[in-house]
Structure 1
Amino acid sequence: MSGMPSLSIGLVLALSCAMPPAAAADSPRPAYAWATTEVFDVSRVPAYEGRHDAVHARIDADLAAHVAHLQRWVRQRSISAQDDGIDAMASLVADDLRALGFSEVRRVETPGHPGVLGYYDAGAEKTLVVYMMYDVQPVEDNWQIDDPFAGSLVENEHGTVLMARGATNQKGPQRAFLNALDAMIKTTGTLPVNLYVVAEGEEELGSPNFGKVIEPWVDRLRKADGAFFPMNIQRPDGSVSLNLGVKGIVYFELESKGGAWGGPARSEVHGSVKSLVDSPTLRLVQAIASMTTPDGNTITIPGYYAPVTPPTLEQQRLINALATGADDAAQQRSLGVSRWIDGLTGRDAIVRNLFEPTLNVDGLWSGYTGTGIKTILPHVATAKMDSRLPPGLEPDDAYRMIRAHLDAQGFSDIALRPMSGYPAASTSVEAPLVRSMLGVLNKYGATTRVSPWLAGSAPFHQFTRTLDLPFVFGGLGYGTGAHGPNEFMLIHPAAGVKAAGLADIEKSYVDILHALAETR
């Protein structure tokens, strides 16, 4: 929203939210019946017992070169929002796949940034699709290093870290995965599974063209046994949070302009005429307020909760396990908040976070927000909003219900501009790919918490729905600072830090591929 002034309308919003909510009785918050007290026990998944000592030794021997590969990737700028270095990064990904021995590599042009497809034919029984994103977020000014694209190795309380934009999100873990492939190929001459790589350069933009990237090979990809996204999901204490999916999302703008309904149509006017002239700004605020209860915490759009799929028995067991170790106070401290809505804790908080849609205002702007005083009645007001969608609530239906609600409440003049949208994705914990991942995590002694899905959003429906594949994202390794300053990935852990360093990250990827190959 660069260049767009922000409206300070907290008082206006508070006043409008004090109005009785429209249609609140038509959209009650759901109450889910709980049918089991059983807890999913990760420790009952047998630890992976395979030994690949020669490959692991090769990783140790080549570790300095492997660190250099990570540095090479983060040094190539690839800021998708600014089209900065994107073309060169796409070429780097393609060239690295060729260097590893991928027999087919192709660049895929889209209406936006290009994608890259690669195929390694190992003549194996099993085939895995590996998702990669090669774009990164813009950088901020307040980094502790001079150049976030220098690939700097820095010492901090966790040990030696690679501090750079893209270090953990997601260039570091992705190149670590390719390092693991390199060690396997150099040691054994091949891989235990056939591999497809599908890489996009628009994940940070909401993946608007990822469907175009996979389109040339979609029929081939559907024949795979699963899909995997390399990612650092450890904490410094060595514990792991494994999410088996994501919520969907709709992201949109609402805009109120003066016109036939009232309000200044051409430009702002003197604030004194508010006695006679409608305010588009107040109208937008009231339209937003009509979509929730006065506290802003229950969506009043008729039917909005109804399509959500209730927790299955499998998901209830996962949630029961999550609830046994839930530390609401610690999560609240990490976010800088004092309480959850309605004082929720434990299982109740987990269920609401995972199984209820959200309605969130990301930004509001209108009128004058500069220094001093300027008394005007603005002619236009705009809001950016998002809604996270649990499985069952589809993007098209969400947009339809939002539009219908605004019209029914007399806000047909409010423009609704969809900007992005995709559905949720989820995979069963019983899928062989997931069990393989859990077995490897158990081998490395990681305490693992498994969630049915993440409350955030990503375009993983392309794997679970378009390709109809089980999909898992994760791996050993610790990193933080994604989308913010001082992003880093742990390379060499300090004493007492239990998260894996680069060598063990790569060894775990070797084990994951072999574990999948050995499933029956």
Structure 2
Amino acid sequence: MRLSTAVLLLCPLLWMTGAARAERPVYPFTTEARFDSATVPAYAGRHDAVYAYIDAQQDAHVAQLQRWVRQRSISAADDGIDAMVTLLADDLRALGFGEVQLVETPGHPGVLGYYDAGAPTTLVVYMMYDVQPVEPNWRIDDPFAGDLVEHELGTVLMARGAMNQKGPQRAFLNAVASMLAVEGTLPVNLYVVAEGEEELGSPNFGAVLAPWRDRLRQADGAFFPMLIQGATGEAQLNLGVKGIVYFELEARGGAHGGPSRSEIHGSFKSLVDAPALRLVQAIASLTSIDGNTVRIPGYYDAVRPPTEAEQTLVNALAVDVDDAALQRSLGVSRWVDGLTGREAIVRNLWEPTLNIDGIWSGYTGEGMKTILPHVATAKLDSRLPPGLEPDAAYAMIRAHLDAGGFEDIVLRPLSGYPAASTAADTPLVQAAIGVFNKYGAKARVAPWLAGSAPFYQFTRTLDLPFVFGGLGHGWGAHGPDEYMLLRPADGVGAAGLAEVEKSYVDLLHALAEGARPR
């Protein structure tokens, strides 16, 4: 790790001054107009026979949700995966899907299903059948028992997967089953594409789609059943997601300096380079001293500025955004730079991030152990707004490290995919908003979510408009006490299971009536 004196002197100066480094962009807004979801006509259709069937079948429908969450399917541990993928495929066959195919991948298998209703409109429904591991501090004894719990909001299904995403997905299939039982068919043809690795970053989802990719591209849109209502009933409809790169940086001793075989006594630091300090310096070079501005040349330049249509969405969001409430829910005191309102929304949605997820080296146990570790590793992620592509991000990070004299730092990509977004005026989005309006669930519509998911597979690989969301409320994804609200208490505005299922019936009909066949 021996560097020239000039590089050693120059690098810290560049990090401190930001010379030749990317600067945070400014996005002037050209309109103060606001998108108003209330102007979208409420879906006016009535399907009373199906609604009545749903009401009569609520006990059976709750049992179906319980059956799904009781089947373990922790992708990270390969716990119950085979049983869950079989359960999903068998359920599609039982519903009358004429084609159901298990797709083997280098990881967990996927499922493809097709129901041919002979309809002019076709919808692709995305599902994930895997869940996160469970934590030890749940209020119930077994998060896979599928318990019904009395909650301050009403009766909830408390279980791993209840909200994310087995609950809403099985509720969608309950709605499909109800339509078939009453009407004998569906208003749209349905594809189901399901993966078991969403919680692992969807590394093989492309392989799941591959056998039917050309067929899927002929559909009219794609949909992901989700619970997007708050307890008050307001819906947060996101029209896309940021992309992501997730990677490891590693410093290791070798001929360039530092111990190469194992840790050594800490007293040798006077003579030996330290990989852990080397890694810290490399990571520090990626951002400003406060960690809040990415200092990788070109990193901000690739981001696509807000369009006028997207500005109207942001303007509407800014009217009643409650920064303080969100901060309280996260346990933080302030946003970076004291931002609030529209500025905070734009920063969150349009700027790439750079974040350390974990960093480790050497001894971290109790007491003392004075060593000089031979290797140090960190996991980092960067969220990518539309315009900044994963390959370009990795190339810029590598070039930045090399230019700073960190050629020895290993950059190990673990995952990466681009952003995805759908315009608010597409028929699928308008149909969804119209259904929300029918049920009095005002939709706050955002251009995309600041989080990431592999939805580019729909918007880019398949070239389809994509909506993820639906009525219903849940909480606790990836954490303890995860739940889906089934029967709301008096005064709770969010939909219960029966209304959730009825809204899916309406959505399929609304899409059939309003979509423009391709």
TM-score by length of 2: 0.96
Pairwise CA distance, 1:421: 0.3
1:186 correspondence with 2:181:
yes
Q: Which of residues 274, 281, 286 in structure 1 aligns to 2:281?
A: 286
Q: CA 1:422–1:469 in structure 2 vs 1: closer, same or farther (change >3 Å)?
A: same
Aligned twin of 1:9: none
Aligned twin of 1:6: none
Q: Which of residues 33, 40, 44 in structure 2 aligns to 1:45?
A: 40
Pairwise CA distance, 1:425: 0.2
Q: Which of residues 326, 331, 353 in structure 2 aligns to 1:331?
A: 326
Aligned twin of 1:3: none
Q: Which amino acid is the alignment partner of residue 49 of structure 1?
A: A
Which sits farther off after the overlay, 154-163 or 142-151? 142-151
Aligned twin of 1:226: 221
Q: CA 1:386–1:50 in structure 2 vs 1: closer, same or farther (change >3 Å)?
A: same
Aligned twin of 2:351: 356
Q: Which amino acid is the alignment partner of residue 429 of structure 1?
A: A
SS at match of 1:122: coil
SS at match of 1:190: coil
Distance 2:19 2:450 in 1: 24
- Is contact 1:480-1:487 (8 Å) kept? yes
Aligned twin of 1:149: 144
- Is contact 1:23-1:301 (8 Å) kept? no
Aligned twin of 2:500: 505
Q: Which of residues 371, 385, 398 in structure 2 aligns to 1:376?
A: 371
Map Cα deviations across residues 110-136 of structure 1 (whole Å, 9 max, x no partner).
111000010001111100000000000
Q: Which of residues 116, 120, 130 in structure 1 aligns to 2:125?
A: 130
Q: Which of residues 437, 451, 462 in structure 2 aligns to 1:456?
A: 451
Pairwise CA distance, 1:272: 1.5
Distance 2:325 2:12 in 1: 31
Aligned twin of 2:257: 262
Distance 1:17 1:128 in 2: 54
- Is contact 1:17-1:295 (8 Å) kept? no
Map Cα deviations across residues 166-206 of structure 1 (whole Å, 9 max, x no partner).
00100000000000001100000000100000000010010
Aligned twin of 2:67: 72
Aligned twin of 1:8: none
Which sits farther off after the overlay, 224-233 or 257-266? 257-266
Aligned twin of 2:83: 88
Distance 1:134 1:241 in 2: 23
Pairwise CA distance, 1:20: 3.8
Query: Where does the alignment leave 5 or more consecutive residues of structure 1 unmatched?
Result: 1-15
- Is contact 1:479-1:488 (8 Å) kept? yes
Q: Which of residues 311, 319, 324 in structure 2 aligns to 1:316?
A: 311
1:163 correspondence with 2:174:
no
Distance 1:161 1:125 in 2: 38
Pairwise CA distance, 1:40: 0.3
Q: CA 1:317–1:112 in structure 2 vs 1: closer, same or farther (change >3 Å)?
A: same
Query: Where does the alignment leave 5 or more consecutive residues of structure 2 unmatched?
Result: 1-10
Q: CA 1:262–1:217 in structure 2 vs 1: closer, same or farther (change >3 Å)?
A: same
Q: Which amino acid is the alignment partner of residue 500 of structure 2?
A: I
Q: Which of residues 398, 411, 416 in structure 1 aligns to 2:411?
A: 416
Q: Which of residues 411, 426, 435 in structure 1 aligns to 2:430?
A: 435
Distance 1:191 1:18 in 2: 65
- Is contact 2:14-2:20 (8 Å) kept? no
Map Cα deviations across residues 59-101 of structure 1 (whole Å, 9 max, x no partner).
0011110000000001111111111110111111111001111
SS at match of 1:283: helix
- Is contact 1:19-1:294 (8 Å) kept? no
TM-score by length of 1: 0.96
Distance 2:322 2:246 in 1: 30
Q: Which amino acid is the alignment partner of residue 471 of structure 1?
A: F
1:246 correspondence with 2:241:
yes
Distance 2:62 2:168 in 1: 11
Aligned twin of 2:297: 302
- Is contact 2:222-2:465 (8 Å) kept? yes
